[in-house]
Amino acid sequence: MAFPWLKGHGTENDFVLLPDHDGTIHGELEGAFVAALCDRRRGIGADGVMRVIRTEALGEASAGEWFMDYRNADGSVSEMCGNGIRVFALHLVQQGLVDPAEPIVVGTRGGDKTITCDPSTGSGTMSFSVDMGTPEVLGVSKVSAAGNTWEAQDVRTGNPHAVAFVDQLDDAGSLLTQPDYDASVYPEGVNVEFVVRQGERHVAMRVHERGSGETRSCGTGACAVAVATAVADGADRPTTYRIDVPGGTLHVTWNADNHIVLTGPAEIVAQGTMDWIA
Ligand SMILES: N[C@@H](CCC[C@H](N)C(=O)O)C(=O)O
């Protein structure tokens, strides 16, 4: 059966989108199929897959009409994706499925997120700001990579993160494998961020994502990094951090009401109809 697909990215964190509005095409989105699509040698290649489905059709609880049914590159389910949800919103806008002048509510397994469309940044690419909700700042554990060990702040931004401040981003090595972490703190796995300071309210990071490996960016990770850095700085809220990632730049504001807002670009680069024959 032929079905529609699109490819998009946010700061080079890239995704395959599968429009399946009524949940009739993909049924239970199978992990093996997702992993095959995301394979960079034998598939289309992506860090994750987002099924675009009506909340009603998926049977999840959400006030939004549309639900981001998100899978990592290995086929595992994740609660939330901060870069993906901006690409998801761009798709809804481009297809005329939502009004860009109004806040867009999208359901995720990490709760409903409200997205606003920022003033136009040029043809093709648009910027969106996502209310990511309230972060949870938990304890400190240890992470290790490339023979080095660091303390890491546990921050939950809809999904789990361990944020480690390092002297240099290269200290984490190749990140071809999952950094070691404390499985008693993160029984469901963790996204690990390595952070260096660049200046006032300005940091750079690398990330090893649970289920996807090292990626060029992670939106929920950038939020976790901003929160961990603001806590370390004793920053008053509201405060805004610039987060440089290998694939670009994101901005994160931690507001007085304790909500974090992620701002960054989204772009759709290809679309077509697929006859998956593998
Ligand atoms: N790239 C995403 C996060 C995707 C999910 C993550 N790998 C997990 O398993 O929690 C982002 O931009 O937030």
pLDDT one-digit tens code per residue, 121-172: 556 679 999 999 999 999 999 999 999 999 999 999 999 999 999 999 999 9
Domains of the chain: 2-133+265-275 (3.10.310.10), 136-258 (3.10.310.10)
The pLDDT assigned to 125 comes to 79
Output the pLDDT for position 168: 98
What DSSP string runs through 82-143?
A: HHHHHHHHHHHHHTTSS-TTS-EEEE-TT--EEEEEPSP-SSS-EEEEEEEE--EEEEEEEE
For residue 17, how far is its CA from the centre of ligand 1 (angstroms)? 15
Q: Does ligand 1 come within 6 angstroms of the Cβ of 16?
A: no
Ligand 1: does its nearest atom lie under 6 Å from the Cβ of 72?
yes
Nearby residues of 94 by Cβ (< 8 Å), 6 or more positions away? 268
pLDDT (0 to 100) of residue 123: 60
On whether 72 is known to bind a ligand per the annotation, the reply is yes
Positions annotated as catalytic residues are 81, 218
In this predicted structure, what is the pLDDT of residue 1? 78
Any ligand 1 atom below 6 A from CB of 83: yes
Is 177 labelled a binding residue? no
Q: How far is the CA of 249 from the centre of ligand 1 (A)?
A: 17
Is residue 151 marked as binding? no
For residue 91, the one-letter residue type is: H
219 among annotated binding-site residues = yes
Determine whether the shortest distance from the Cβ of 110 to ligand 1 is under 6 A: no
> 82 C-alpha to center of ligand 1: Å?
7
Pocket of ligand 1 contains residue 157 by CB under 6 Å: no
Best residue among 49, 71, 78 to mutate for probing ligand 1, ranked by most atoms within 8 Å of CB:
78
**Does residue 256 sit in helix, strand or coil?**
coil
Angle between helices 82-94 and 219-233 (to 10 degrees): 130
- State which amino acid sits at residue 258: N
The answer for 267, left when phi > 0, alpha when psi is -120 to 50, beta otherwise, is: beta
88-115 confidence digits (pLDDT tens): 999 999 999 999 999 999 999 999 999 9
What ligand 1 atom has the least distance to the C-alpha of 207? 1
**Long-range CB pairs of 51-54, under 8 A, 24+ apart, other chains included:** 51/17, 51/18, 51/20, 51/26, 52/17, 52/18, 52/19, 52/20, 52/21, 52/88, 52/91, 52/92, 53/20, 53/21, 53/22, 53/23, 54/21, 54/22, 54/23
Annotated binding residue 220? yes
Atom 3 of ligand 1: nearest residue by CA position: 81
Q: Tell me, what's the pLDDT at 119?
A: 80
Distance between Cα 204 and ligand 1 center (Å): 18
Low-confidence ranges of the chain (pLDDT < 70): 120-124
Question: What's CA 147's distance to the chain center, in Å?
Answer: 27
191 Cβ closer than 6 Å to some ligand 1 atom: yes
- Give the integer Cα–Cα distance in Å for 89 and 62: 16
With a 6 Å cutoff on the Cβ, whether 209 touches ligand 1 is yes
What is the Cα–Cα distance from 231 to 79, expressed in whole angstroms? 24
User: Which atom of ligand 1 sits closest to the CA of residue 85?
Assistant: 12
Please provide residue 132's backbone torsions phi and psi, each rounded to the nearest 5 degrees. -90, 0
Atom of ligand 1 nearest to the CA of 83: 12
